Amino acid sequence: MKPLAYLQNGFCKELSSNNSREGIRTRLDISDALCDSRIITDATEDMILHDDFMKIIIKQKSYQRCDEYYIDKKIANLNTSSSSDDLSATYLIDKSVVECQNIENNFGVLILNAKTATERRYLVKGDGFSLDKNVRYNYRYVTFKDKLLHPCNSLIIIDPYLLIKPETNKESEVFYPGIKYNLESLLDSILPQKLKVDFHLTIISCLDKPDEVKRVYEKIKKCLKRIRKDLIVKLGLFYTGTGYFHKIESFHSRHIMSNTFAIDSEDGLDLFNENGYLTKNNPVISVVFPRLFGNDRQDMSKYYNWISSVKKYINEDVNERYCGSKDNRLFDLVK
């Protein structure tokens, strides 16, 4: 399914009036970004016929006209919307920076006005960073929160080795290093503080024993309560063996997928030890935005194929090896 974008007339008008180098570059970026999107726009007929930016946007693209109040109504009703499409759409709108920020904070969707579209140039090619083996990261993933924190309301995390090998502390309590040293700081870097909709979180990993699923699930629930007490999370934890990860190519790499961005880490997500040092040699983490930038067909194909593989696994192959919810609104984006 092609990504959905809502495009307001005021956004187009303001962006078209910005003839600075940044404005021109942004117009090109946005037109490229929307080339494979389903566009719903309230742009006037005059704007569509005479504005150069709109001519580029609608040329050979799938678009639908709506009335001038339609998009505002869509945004106003996000808190009651059951549409995964609307809660994963990109909104290019004519509102202030503060209003855009409030909508993002409330619903975890990507909202851009003409000003923020120009400022968020990293959306075009994504972002990334490498870590230094010789550096101690006391805050682990939180160190990179400015690069990892983007609006989202749904998340899928797959890593075969993130949750294996439980240990026992001095008080003889069983704990999971993957949760304590990695998953907690990772979620703390990504999750919104709170939303007006439920947050959907799906985690797939290997465990030493299938009967550990319930215990690990409860530990992750406690972790979520500790770092996000005001966020309502529908959590699903799914266990599979390492053989399954190697059998399905899309499962082999370590991925994080959300409704707005994706994170790849070929070296895994279990990057830190108890002292904040790396367990891998100079790993690289990349962040891309495939839902918006559908012009990169390779990224889009990987994105949807990956979600399809996860959905198939959960619906057909998981059997009883899970705890929590099977729901994730990302699954509604694929057949």
Q: Residue 74 sits in a domain of what CATH number? A: 3.40.50
Residues 86 and 107 in one domain: yes
Share above pLDDT 90 across residues of the chain, in percent, rounded to a whole number? 38
Residues 160 and 71 in one domain: no
Residues 111 and 244 in one domain: no
- Tell me what pLDDT residue 294 has: 47
CA distance 217 to 203: 10
74-83, 145-154, 163-172: the lowest-pLDDT one? 163-172
Tell me: pLDDT of 211 over 50.
Answer: yes
Out of 103, 122, 141, a domain closes at: 122
Which pTM does this prediction carry?
0.90
Give the list of residues 6+ apart from residue 218 with CB closer than 8 angstroms, or none. none
Residues 202 and 114 in one domain: no
Tell me: pLDDT of 227 over 90.
Answer: yes
Residues 166 and 240 in one domain: yes
Q: Residue 140 sits in a domain of what CATH number? A: 3.30.870.30
299-320 pLDDT, tens digit each: 667 778 888 888 988 888 776 6
Query: CB count, 10 Å around CB of 177?
Result: 19
Residues 221 and 157 in one domain: yes
- Tell me what pLDDT residue 295 has: 45
108-112, 193-197, 330-334: the lowest-pLDDT one? 330-334
Query: CB count, 10 Å around CB of 121?
Result: 13
Tell me: pLDDT of 149 over 80.
Answer: yes
Do 192 and 152 form a contact (C-beta atoms < 8 A)? yes
Residues 82 and 136 in one domain: no
CA distance 13 to 33: 18
Query: CB count, 10 Å around CB of 309?
Result: 16
Nearest in space to 134 (alpha carbons), one of 284, 283, 285, 278: 278
Do 132 and 282 form a contact (C-beta atoms < 8 A)? yes
- Angle, to 10 degrees, between the axis of helix 9-17 and the axis of helix 21-33? 140
Residues 106 and 226 in one domain: no
* Tokens 């303001």 -> residue: 14
186-206 pLDDT, tens digit each: 999 999 999 999 999 999 988
Residues 185 and 285 in one domain: yes
279-296 pLDDT, tens digit each: 888 888 888 876 555 445
Out of 122, 139, 173, a domain closes at: 122
Query: CB count, 10 Å around CB of 76?
Result: 12
Coil, helix or strand at residue 208: coil
The domain of 306 spans 126-333
Residues 110 and 150 in one domain: no
Residues 254 and 189 in one domain: yes
Tell me: pLDDT of 36 over 90.
Answer: no
How far is residue 23 from each of residues 113, 118, 147, 171, measured CA to CA in Å? 12, 7, 24, 60
Residues 183 and 203 in one domain: yes
- Count of domains observed in the chain: 2
55-64, 85-94, 207-216: the lowest-pLDDT one? 55-64
